[in-house]
Amino acid sequence: MTLQIEQLHHSFGKKKILSNISFTIENGEFVSILGPSGSGKSTLFHLIGGILKPEQGKIRLNDWDITNENGHLSYMPQNPSLFPWRTVLQNAMLGSELAGKADETKAIELLQKANLGEMIHAYPNQLSGGMKQRVAFVRALLSPQSLICLDEPFSALDSFTKKEMQQWLLKTWEAYDKSILFITHDIEEALFLSDHVILLSINPATVKASIKVPFKRPRDEQLYLSEEFLQWKRKIVEALKE
């Protein structure tokens, strides 16, 4: 799987939001888009997901032009959007069910790994925010698409839950051959999770820098406290100021 974003431009009315955005996601890579609120990250997501049509530019998946087509990527919006009338298990299986590949055993196994083993027959209104995010992510992992797109999935969580969720996400993802495109405005989160960080400017958003993150995997919370981590954080803060 390779996803290529080629010279995307987008405006709302007369306001230019995205200007000449290009980057590539290689197979199995974890790529973050890091930019301030209002910079156009969700807009970029909607373009990649085929929900919006770009003013200019192309999106290619394995060299196929998928601009303005949806269904090629597994897309997880900021709000986990679980169906209230479906149980946790039924929600987790939705993507694979739609693809005609529902596998209940595997879904239960993944939910157990997500510490949701006790909750598989519960309904979304019985879950905390972090639990809902885990169900949505399990659903994305079980879906057949090889690229998962997540739009600020942890931004509504408190900082403890957020760190737990980041580690859980990495651990779960490392066992899968999937690529991730992760949107965030949190510098530490982008650094901790990613192989690659794409820095966006604002008004309009352009790619300010593309940073290759050198930390080895598996990563754990010790990384947050390391000198190396702080140095990279400083680098990004500087790059964002320029």
127 three-state secondary structure: coil
* 155 touches Mg ion (CB under 5 A): no
Minimum distance from residue 165 beta carbon to ligand ADP (Å)? 19
* 4 touches Mg ion (CB under 5 A): no
* 167 touches Mg ion (CB under 5 A): no
Separation of alpha carbons 48 and 69, rounded Å: 9
In the complex with ligand ADP, which residue's Cβ is closer, 46 or 196? 46
Q: Total residues at the site for ligand ADP (CB under 6 A)? A: 10
Other CB atoms within a 10 A radius of the CB of residue 37 amount to: 10
Residue 151 identity: D
Q: Which of 5, 21, 34, 43 binds ligand ADP (CB under 6 A)?
A: 43
Other CB atoms within a 10 A radius of the CB of residue 166 amount to: 22
* 37 touches ligand ADP (CB under 6 A): yes
| Enclosing H/E stretch for 131 | helix 129-142
Token pair, residue 219, equals 């990563």
* 42 touches Mg ion (CB under 5 A): yes
Residue closest to Mg ion (Cβ)? 42
Residue span binding ligand ADP (CB under 6 A) among the ranges 34-42, 58-66, 127-135, 171-179: 34-42
* 162 touches ligand ADP (CB under 6 A): no
Q: Which of 2, 11, 20, 42 binds ligand ADP (CB under 6 A)?
A: 42
In the complex with ligand ADP, which residue's Cβ is closer, 12 or 83? 12
- Spatial CA neighbour of 23 closest among 159, 207, 234, 150: 207
- Cβ–Cβ under 8 Å, residues 162 and 152: no
> How many CA atoms lie within 13 Å of 218's alpha carbon, on the beta-carbon side?
12
DSSP states of 59-123 as a string? EEETTEE-TT--SSSEEE-SS----TTS-HHHHHTHHHHHTT---HHHHHHHHHHTT-GGGTTS-
Residue span binding ligand ADP (CB under 6 A) among the ranges 37-45, 90-98, 190-198, 234-242: 37-45
- Spatial CA neighbour of 186 closest among 206, 165, 169, 162: 162
Contacts with 127 (C-beta within 8 Å, 6 or more apart), sequence order? 88, 119, 135
Q: Which does 201 bind (CB under 5 to 8 A by kind): ligand ADP, Mg ion, none?
A: none
* 144 touches ligand ADP (CB under 6 A): no
Residue span binding Mg ion (CB under 5 A) among the ranges 36-44, 48-56, 174-182, 197-205: 36-44
* 62 touches ligand ADP (CB under 6 A): no
* 54 touches ligand ADP (CB under 6 A): no
**Pattern of binders to ligand ADP over 7-26, x per CB under 6 A?**
-----x----x---------
User: Which residues here bind Mg ion, judged by CB under 5 A?
Assistant: 41-42
